[in-house]
Structure 1
Amino acid sequence: MSKAAVIIVAGTDGHANVGRLVNGLETAKEFAETDGDEVELIFDGAGTQWIPKLEDEDSDYHELYQTVRDDASVCDFCSGAFGVEDAVADAGVVTLDDHDGHPSIRSLVEDDYEIITF
């Protein structure tokens, strides 16, 4: 049994960041599909910009995102800072504001999650 927090901080600009997104989603999917594993998928920083793109059914990565959407959450502060607060709210994705408006990475470490960033 493994516990992983997959954190996507890569923004939407450039081919390399698309690769980081896809690798992060695939990693989260692998944990989600493995019996006994736990996964948290967190979009943080510039990564919050992916939510409106991934919610779009025409996105190349919409289906992959849908496989892990129930495990996804978004940094509350960063969604506002990067201008996607309304899109995140419209999508109904959970926002995290445990530590000064941001997700608490410390609490994940305290709960024995491995932290994996993309």
Structure 2
Amino acid sequence: MRPTRTMFGAHASRWSASAAVSFAVDLWRYENGPPWNFLRRWESDYHGTTPLKIEAESEMKTAIVIMSDPRAGEEALGRLFNGLAVADEALKAGDHVAIVFNGAGTRWPGELAQPQHPAHALYHAVREAVHGASCGCAAVFGATQSVEAAGLPLLKDKALPGTPGILNLHRYLTDGWHTLVF
């Protein structure tokens, strides 16, 4: 099958039918990330030339709130691991990432500081994005000392009666952050 010049513009004569179908399938599935990755792949894989020079600076802001309790077992570990994995992926994509520990999740920093913990390496890979733990939540769940020992700041930017102050999660929403809770 010979592609028509109107199908893909001036470069159509360099396309084979299978390359056109492969490109269309890739585009449809969105398997390789943002759409500009398809252009890079199309230019290099299907055309046999050098990749396009398309640079996109990420404007995505992702706040990851870890609330699962490490005492809750494997399900909680799965939540933590998935939250840290999303953070790792977002950091590698150049996104702005904020990881915070809230509620019973303030117990995690003490656990993650232990080298034998299964998520220890992943935690340290995303450590630059960890902003801290809610001060009030750490006090309620008895995690203040372990949070401090892990070197994290205790966040108390919102006054709440009966607590030393808590992390203001609403700030992430009003500032346009995509907020994920694990």
The TM-score with structure 2 as length reference comes to: 0.62
Does residue 8 (structure 1) correspond to residue 72 (structure 2)? The answer is no
1:1-118 aligned within 5 A = 1-12=59-70, 13-35=72-94, 37-72=95-130, 73-100=132-159, 101-118=165-182
1:7-42 deviations in whole A, cap 9, x for unaligned? 01010112111110100110111111212x101001
Structure 2: runs of 5+ lacking an equivalent: 1-58, 160-164
Aligned residues: 117
Question: Which one has the bigger strand percentage?
Answer: 1
CA distance in 2, matches of 1:106, 1:50: 22
Q: Distance in 2 between matches of 1:83 and 1:16?
A: 21
Q: Which amino acid aligns with 2:104?
A: A
- Whole-angstrom distance in 1 between the partners of 2:153 and 2:90: 19
Question: Percent identical across equivalent pairs?
Answer: 32
| Deviation >3 Å, runs of 4+ | none
How far off its partner does 1:57 sit?
1.0
Cα displacement string for residues 35-78 of structure 1 (whole angstroms, at most 9, x for unaligned residues): 2x101001100111111110111111100000111211111111
Task: Give the RMSD, CA atoms, in angstroms.
Answer: 1.0
TM-score normalised by structure 1 residue count: 0.93
Structure 1 unaligned blocks of 5 or more: none
Larger RCO, structures 1/2 (Cα 8 Å, 6+ apart): 1
Alpha-carbon separation, structure 2, partners of 1:42 and 1:29: 14
